[in-house]
Structures are given as structure tokens and as C-alpha cells.
Amino acid sequence: ILFDPYLRSIIQSREDDVKVRDIIRTIQEQQFDIVTKPERESFVLQGCAGSGKTMILLHRLSYLMYNNESLHPGDVLVITPSESFNGFIDELSQMLELEKVRTTTLRYYYFRALSGEGIDLRSRLTDAREPEEYLAYVYSARFPRDVSARIHKLYEELFALFTAPECRAVSEAILAMCRERQAQFVRIRNGSVRVRRAVLGELKESKEGGFYFTKPFRTLMSAFTQAEDFLRFVLEEHERTPDYFFRQFSEFYRSAHLIAAGGEKVFRGAQEDLASLVVTVDKEIADLMRYKQKRGTEEVLTYADRIARREQLKAEAERTRALIGEMEEGLSLFSDFFAVIRLTRNCVELGKCRGGADVARWLYRETVRPAKTKHGMKGVYPSDGYAMCYCLTEAGRELKPRYGLVFVDEGQDISEGEYALLHRIHSDAAFNVFGDLKQNITPWRGVRDWAKVGGNLYTLNQNYRNTNEIVAFVSRVLDADMRPIGLEGAEVAHIKPRQVSAFFREKQGLQAVIAKEEYLPLFDKRGYKVLTGDAQLSRSKINVMSVFASKGLEFSAVAVYDKGMTENEKYIAYTRALRELAIVEDD
């Protein structure tokens, strides 16, 4: 036992204080060393239960922001295990002036990143439980591999429609045709007002703002421009990310559909309008030719100059009509080309997308949904946030916001795939991860080796939370590597379920019953509060919670119904008690 009378007296005096307190920096040299590590150092702090990991995290953040005025709250992301935990540390965060720093659970971080892409998952969450078999797959190393393989297969198949040896020549011919149409359209735009109006219609202001032409010719030309841009990107530029290609393809598909389905009609309509213009001009010329005057012995036309201008207009209309006839030629090749593209289901589905959010949903359907369907899952589940974020990132989309510093508490509960995802999103960030491998209790999620996370590894095994008796009990029963600080307390009690209320009677401070989730209903009675979801801790009732919900929290007195718990679950549950611990045993 490490014995320091001053530290021991302070901790003893605060044991029943429900407020989260700061650590005593003048005494805890190891903790202070972690707090003052260089700002850009990435590291993992492996600390036993009660070693002050969360307090070190908060003090380090306060230290960094105090010593670097250019470091702003918006530069920092703090990932915590639960919303109740955020409420638990809120008072200390305010005291350290960290209230503007964003603290969030990883689940809601994913939802927030997706909301920036126009995707709302949070409001659509189902209450149904996710099958553990599915969770084991999603958080395994296999899921990222499967997603990567599927995305790149989709990309390669679609890209090959334009660049494969048997397709490239046709694609290049279509690109040349689009470029030629743009050059021809420039001649039409540079024509006289009446010819332009016959082809394009009138320019009017829309109710939504902006302007539009009353005839579809310009819209068709915009479609050719979009098709040209896409084909030039595919055939002549360097390859970019699959996500960029997918989004550009969805735009191309709509434009190509417009050209193939309506191009001939638009071109012929323009030719008919020009023919009508010629008829109108002929009538105007005939009418003007009726006006004559005598000049000497000769009779001359009164409006000869107007007639001449109309003759020029008529000739221009005929030339433009012939030009549009040329523009119509070659549409059959484009239509045949588009017909081949439409034979591919993925092309049709991607072509229905209207923007980045729709492309993201399409990727999700192609990569994640098959696995969910296999397990009979319908609707939106918490794991969908991670799954969709991974799909988008793997496809090359840059999710935002991005942070320069990422702090992770209870870091042992995050899978290797999630760490890889966070590092890809925040590629320039320093990562500070705080956790305890012995507190990993999810067989389908979490990290088993800190080397997989990266960064320097530091270790703390001094317990500043629990009494000597609790530390000795945990060390003996669970073979845990913990050293107590020297706080004396009551021996660990062993009680029956009917004695739980009596155990808590007259006790001060926060109190809790911790049990496996399936046994929580046993303690759903008067004077107790069963915590579900993101419920906040009660200071007046006995809190009843699962082992996972208790992570990172501490209570003056704890009763643990450890039936069915693994050693790691017992380790977490037992070490939530600051002063008094009771093990609830069946009769």
C-alpha cells in the first residue's frame, strides 16, 4: 500500500461528496506527467479501475487549452461512453472551463457526421435489439474488408462501362459528339435575337428566383455539357475516389436519359419553330413589298432595307435549321450507348440518386443492408451510424467536422475498425485514448491489444477510488493488478436479495445496484430508479443499471448482483463502489 496521510485524508473527506472532484496534482506525479505530455503526442493510457483516467483526461485538456491560446474548443473532440457519464463529469468540466468542448458518445458522433451529409438516422432509430451475431460481424475486421471489396467492385464495374477496351472507342465518340454539340450551340447563341428566341424561347424569371428559358433547347444543351464533363473526367483525367465517380455518374445518368429520351423531340421542335419563323418572315417580306414609291420614272420599294434584313434573317434561320439537323445526327449512337448502360441494375439505381445523400443511401443498400436482411433486421439501428460512416469514408468522402485533438474515454470499448475510421476522418489529429483492457465486456466489440490503436503506451495501476478492503477483494477474487491508496473502510458484505434495501438504509451519497441487463427488473421497485437509454443519475433514489451503463461512474455504496457476469463485468461492477460494496447472492 502506498501511504500518504495528506492525500488519504482528503480522499476520505470527499468520499460521500457526490460531486466529481479534481485530482491532487501536487501528489500524483504519474498523473501529472500524463497531463503535461506534448500536445501533438498520440498515446494510450492503460489504467486500472479508480486510477483517475477521466480526471487526467479533463485536466490534460484544461492544461493544453491554458498553455495554447490558439487551441479552441472547436478543435477538440471528446468521446465518452454514455450521456449519463457526460452529466456525471459536467460539474468538473465547468470548473475547468471546458463546457464549450464537445463531449459526445461515439454513436452520436457518427449521427452528427452523417447529418452534415443530409442524412438523419438519429430520429429514425428503432427500439428493436440488434442480434449479437450481426454486431459481431459489423465490429469485426471482416466488415471493413467486405465493405471495401464491395465498393471497389461497384466502382470498377461502372468505370469499365466507359473505359474497357470494347467500350472506350464508343465513349470517345460520344465525348467528341458532345464537344461538337457545344461548339454548334455557340453559333446558335451568337445568332440574331429572333433566331435565338425561336430556338430557346423567352427568358423569364421563375417564382423561386432565377431565370429560365421557355423552351427546352438550353436544358438539352446543359445535358450535353454535363455528359461532356463526365466523359472527359472518366477518359482523360486522373482517377479520383469512388464516391466522386458515383456522384458524377448520377448526374451524367440523368443528363444522358434526357438526351436519349428527349433529344430528338427537342431538336425537331426547334427545326419546326425555325420553319415557322421562315414562314412568318416570308409574310413580313410580302407585306413590305406592297409598299412602293416612285423615284423619277422608276418605282422602288419603300422598305427595301427592311426587306433585305428579313432576307438575311430568313437565310440565317435556314442555316440554323440545317445546323440543328446536323446536331440531331448521331443521337442514335448516344441512345444505343445509354440503352446499354440502362441494362445494368446498379447504373439504374445510382442514376436515381439526387445528390450526395442519395448516393450514401445507395452505398448503404449495396454494402450493409444485405447483412442486415440476412439477420432479419429492418429499420435504423445504432450500429448503422458506424456502418454508413465507414462506407462513405471507404468510398473517399471526407466527413466533417474534423478535429485536431481527439480524446477517447473508456477506449477499450471501441473496435479496431472504429479506431481506423476515426483516424481516417481526423487524419491530422493527435489521439489520446484512456481505458482499461480489463473493463472490456462486449465480446463483439472493443480492442484487445492497445498496439492496434497506435501511439505510446503508459500504464497506471494505483487505485485512488476504492477502499483497501474493496481493492483487496477485487485483487483476490479476480486476480487484478491494483494497488490501494491506503483508505480504510468496511469489509465487503455478502447479502441476500431481500436485504438490499437494508444495506442502503442510512447511507449517504450516490447509490447503485448493478446487475446483468436481464436481471434489472428484479430491482424495479419503489425507491429505486432503473436507468435506461440516456437517463440521468438520481441523487435521491437507488440507481439500478447494467454493467455497461455503470462504466466510468462511481458511487458511495454499491450492491452487485453478479449472477451471470463475466470476470471483466464483475471487475467493473465491484470497482464502482467508493466506500461500501455488497455482493448480492441468491438464497
Annotated binding residues for ATP: 47-54
Spatial CA neighbour of 376 closest among 96, 130, 174: 130
Could you identify the residue written with the cell 501533438? 40
CA distance 520 to 543: 11
Task: Quickly tell me which residue has 481493492 as its cell.
Answer: 471
- The SS3 of residue 574 is helix
**Crossing angle for the helix pair 383-395 and 106-115, to the nearest 10 degrees:** 50
The CA distance from 47 to 567, in Å, is: 17
How far is it, in rounded angstroms, from Cα 470 to Cα 491?
Answer: 7
For helices 242-288 and 217-236, what crossing angle results, to 10°?
Answer: 140
Dist CA 254 CA 243 (whole Å)? 17
Provide the 3-class DSSP secondary structure of residue 202.
coil
Could you please report the per-residue DSSP string of 31-87?
Answer: HHHHHTS-TT--EEEEE-TTS-HHHHHHHHHHHHHHH-TT--GGGEEEEES-HHHHH
Chain centre distance of CA 321: 52
φ, ψ of residue 457 to 5 degrees: the values are -115, 125
Q: Report the alpha-carbon distance of residue 406 to residue 44 in Å, rounded.
A: 12
Q: What span, in angstroms and rounded, lies between the C-alpha atoms of 578 and 569?
A: 17
Residue 144, preceding peptide bond in cis (omega within 30° of 0): no
Cα–Cα distance for residue pair 12/261, rounded to 1 Å: 81
Question: How many Å apart are CA 21 and CA 14, to the nearest integer?
Answer: 8
User: Where is 247: in which H helix or E strand?
Assistant: helix 242-288
Of the candidates 107, 108, 105, 111, which has an alpha carbon nearest to the alpha carbon of residue 139?
A: 107
DSSP classification of residue 499: G
| Dihedral angle of Cα 496, 497, 499, 501, to the nearest 10 degrees | 160
CB 493 within 8 A of CB 467: no
- Contact between 428 and 37 under an 8 Å Cβ cutoff? The reply is no
> Is there a contact between 22 and 63 (Cβ–Cβ < 8 Å)?
no
State the residue for C-alpha cell 423531340: 265
Rounded to whole angstroms, the Cα distance separating 12 from 579 reads 9
Separation CA 163–CA 237 (nearest Å): 12
User: Which residues belong to the annotated binding site?
Assistant: 47-54
Cell (9 digits) for 278? 421562315
Whether the upstream peptide bond of residue 497 has omega within 30° of 0, thus cis, is: no
